């Protein structure tokens, strides 16, 4: 265990010792935090793809079938999904 990797824990004001579990606890916290960040980004990407697919389908259906105002529909869909 390297000195720089572990934090010092104070038992008394003048006595310091190295906590043997501090490195493993920091590693566990870092891995959990990284997993949270990665899964949040993956969920955001998945949600963007689903919204893009929905907007594309709605726009193409209005263009192909020719019913309604396509510009208004696109504006409303983009406003709803806040793209």
35-83 pLDDT tens trace: 999 999 999 999 989 988 988 888 888 888 877 777 887 788 778 777 5
pLDDT reported for residue 13: 53
For the stretch 13-40, what's the b/e string if a residue is b when 16 or more beta carbons lie within 10 angstroms of its beta carbon?
Answer: eeeeeeeeeeeeeeeeeeeeeeeeeeee
pTM (predicted TM-score): 0.57
pLDDT reported for residue 3: 46
- How many other C-beta atoms lie within 10 A of the C-beta of residue 81? 14
Domain boundaries, the chain: 8-81
Residue 7: pLDDT above 80?
Answer: no
């Amino acid at each position: 265990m390297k000195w720089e990797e572990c934090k010092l824990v104070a038992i008394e004001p003048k006595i310091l010792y190295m906590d043997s579990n501090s490195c493993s606890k920091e590693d566990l916290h870092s891995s959990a935090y990284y997993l949270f960040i990665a899964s949040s980004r993956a969920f955001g990407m998945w949600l963007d793809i689903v919204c893009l697919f929905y907007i594309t389908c709605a726009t193409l259906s209005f263009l192909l079938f020719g019913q309604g105002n396509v510009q208004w529909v696109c504006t409303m869909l983009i406003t709803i999904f806040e793209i």
